[in-house]
Amino acid sequence: GCGCRSRQDLLLLSPGTPPASSPFGSLWPLPQSLRVSPERFRLAPDQFQIVHGPGSSAGSSCSLLEDAFRRYYEYMFGYSKWQNRDGKKSLCETELSLLQVIITSKDSECDKFPSITSDEAYHLQVSKPTSVLKADKVWGVLRGLETFSQLLYEDDCGSYFVHESVISDFPRFAYRGILLDTSRHFLPLKIIQTNLDAMAFNKFNVLHWHIVDDPSFPYQSTTFPELNAQGAFTPKHVYTPTDVHNIIEYARLRGIRVIPEFDTPGHTQSWRKDILTPCYSGKHPSGSYGPINPILNATYDFMMKLFEEVGNVFPDDYIHLGGDEVDFSCWSSNPDVTEFMKKKGFGFWYSKLESYYVEKILEIVTSLNKKSIIWQEVFDDGAKLQPDTIVEVWKKFLYQLELARVTKQGHQAILAAPWYLDLISYGEDWKSYYGVEPLNFMGSKSQKELVLGGEACLWGEYVDGTNLTPRLWPRASAVGERLWSSKNVTDISDASKRLTQHRCRMLRRGIAAQPLFVGYCTTLEQ
């Protein structure tokens, strides 16, 4: 076992993009700075440890890191075709015995939740007999552990190796999100957790949880239990307070924020009927309902109580308030609404009524010490936004112009428009996602600094637990590298080779990522 030649014959010393024939050629997303030596070191699973290094501000009391150490040891050695199951010491002496993890800041943020300002930078030096991973905060350690695990490779005889290397890394964008939709199809907890794992493997850091919509209301509210009782598909298709807590904590342990979306005034057909607008046919109610009724004081009392609960349940600073695709036909049919419009001097501009409603919701959320994200229609229709409101740009047509308009008015922006992964096509569509440059719009440097990042959206009309994971991965991986790596990392041929290997690694870790093209994974027993 010790004398077997590796199938990967490496002679590499490169400060830039490594060739995909090397184990470094499977790094995803590509680090900001990478130097690799031809010298390699052997690791023996029964002799290798990930430990807290000297001087680190986080020790064994940091459950987030202890959990990560166990997890990454399993990722590196637990899926191998070679296992030392008899308990005997391996035949090969290890050359690299320790990965020391050192948190340099006094506040490691071990017990905190990640935020938009979280520091994810890290420095990794792979040398023998001890390698060192340094970061200011635990979030950087999580990203560095992922990179270290990707450097490890196995030869044909089951020996593990890693090459001497120095990596300095940090994300290009602070917001790197995945949107999952649990209203159109209920997603089991296990499926959400599996995809949180996959997000960590691709260095995403935001789960945008589009939790409710027209088809169903699976969020179990303690303040208004009738919402899920009436709005969920069945009593089984709900996320209990324990479920929600578990998802938030599962995400936190992977450095991932959970931002809930409660989309109003449209997309609310599963909500309580008494806060929806009765639609009219002529002079009589038609029996159907439209968007949230914006003329009732009771509406805002309800929203205050609901968002107070949501703000307490979800620890993130932000709540996504939606605001997209509001159908004005029901409002225009309702005589009480049209009378209200006249009194307010809105004329026939129902977008003004929408803005009136959204501005009140923004004020409610602000009063609860939370910040808001909204879809671009709210901005487009002229609502007066809070200064810290983030605008999410989702309409693909002229999205660069929209980014320019949003940032020119001083608002932060998130780009989703070119990354709607529910829109599928035949072939390697990941390449079109990879080719997007988020800052490719007309604007000043200060405008471009307002673009926080972006997210890949997977809406749920044709997606449930059976096909979500393979539809999302590795297509979303292309977005992950675009949002993490340097702007000049654009070589599609190199990316294709690395992503092919990364996809195989995700399979080994239990992520049912679909193939990119023809071929097979060499280290999978199929």
Q: What is the DSSP letter of 420?
A: B
Given a cut of 50, is residue 499 above it in pLDDT? yes
Enter the pTM of the model. Answer: 0.94
Boundary residue ending a domain (122, 141, 169): 169
Pairwise CA distance, residues 456 & 418, whole Å: 8
Identity (one letter) of the amino acid at 390? I
> For residue 485, what are its two tokens?
């790596």
pLDDT at 106: 93
Give me the chain's average pLDDT, please: 92
Active site residue 325: yes
Average pLDDT, stretch 318-346? 95
Q: Are 393 and 439 in contact (CB under 8 A)?
A: no
Given a cut of 90, is residue 5 above it in pLDDT? no
Q: Are 376 and 391 in contact (CB under 8 A)?
A: yes
Spell out a b/e string for 272-289, using b for 16 or more CB atoms within 10 Å of the CB, else e.
eeebbbbbbeeeeeeeeb
Distances (CA, A) of 349 to 149, 254, 329, 353, 408: 56, 46, 12, 7, 25
pLDDT at 52: 94
Pairwise CA distance, residues 49 & 217, whole Å: 46
Q: Are 322 and 261 in contact (CB under 8 A)?
A: yes
In a domain, 256, yes or no: yes
Identity (one letter) of the amino acid at 185? H
Both 237 and 159 in one domain: the answer is: no
Both 119 and 197 in one domain: the answer is: no
Both 124 and 197 in one domain: the answer is: no
Q: Residue 1's CB: how many other CB atoms inside 10 A? A: 11
The alpha carbon of residue 308 and the mean position of all alpha carbons in its chain are separated, in whole angstroms, by: 24
Q: Are 350 and 333 in contact (CB under 8 A)?
A: no
What is the total count of domains within the chain?
2
In a domain, 305, yes or no: yes
Q: What is the CATH number of the domain that holds 230?
A: 3.20.20.80
In a domain, 148, yes or no: yes
Both 164 and 214 in one domain: the answer is: no
Q: What is the CATH number of the domain that holds 118?
A: 3.30.379.10
Average pLDDT, stretch 365-382? 97
Q: Residue 505's CB: how many other CB atoms inside 10 A? A: 19
Both 179 and 165 in one domain: the answer is: no
Q: Are 238 and 220 in contact (CB under 8 A)?
A: yes
Pairwise CA distance, residues 257 & 263, whole Å: 19
Average pLDDT, stretch 358-387? 97
Confidence class for position 159, pLDDT limits 50, 70, 90: confident
Boundary residue ending a domain (130, 153, 169): 169
Both 158 and 203 in one domain: the answer is: no
Q: Residue 2's CB: how many other CB atoms inside 10 A? A: 11
Burial class (CB in 10 A: 0-12, 13-18, 19+), 128: middle
Dihedral sign for Cα atoms in the order 364, 370, 375, 380: positive
Pairwise CA distance, residues 19 & 26, whole Å: 9
Both 379 and 456 in one domain: the answer is: yes
Both 353 and 368 in one domain: the answer is: yes
Give the total residue count for the chain.
526
Confidence class for position 85, pLDDT limits 50, 70, 90: very low
Spell out a b/e string for 74-94, using b for 16 or more CB atoms within 10 Å of the CB, else e.
ebbbeeeeeeeeeeeebebeb
Average pLDDT, stretch 28-55? 93
The residue among 500, 402, 504 whose CA lies nearest residue 454 is 402
Catalytic residue among 325, 339, 449, 461: 325
Q: What is the DSSP letter of 274?
A: G
In a domain, 22, yes or no: no
- Greatest extent of the chain over all pairs of C-alpha atoms, in Å: 88
pLDDT at 156: 72
- R_g over Cα of the chain: 25
Domain extent at residue 131:
33-78+92-169
Identity (one letter) of the amino acid at 11? L
Given a cut of 70, is residue 6 above it in pLDDT? no
Both 162 and 240 in one domain: the answer is: no
Confidence class for position 13, pLDDT limits 50, 70, 90: very low
Residues 200-245 have pLDDT tens digits of: 999 999 999 999 999 999 999 999 999 999 999 999 999 999 999 9
Average pLDDT, stretch 380-391? 95
Q: Are 263 and 219 in contact (CB under 8 A)?
A: no
In a domain, 285, yes or no: yes
Both 140 and 164 in one domain: the answer is: yes
Confidence class for position 94, pLDDT limits 50, 70, 90: confident
In a domain, 425, yes or no: yes
In a domain, 414, yes or no: yes
Both 276 and 345 in one domain: the answer is: yes
In a domain, 476, yes or no: yes
Both 159 and 184 in one domain: the answer is: no
Give the ranges where 202-296 is alpha helix by DSSP (H).
226-231, 241-252
Boundary residue ending a domain (127, 149, 169): 169
**CA-angle at 100, arms to 152 and 86, nearest 5°:** 55
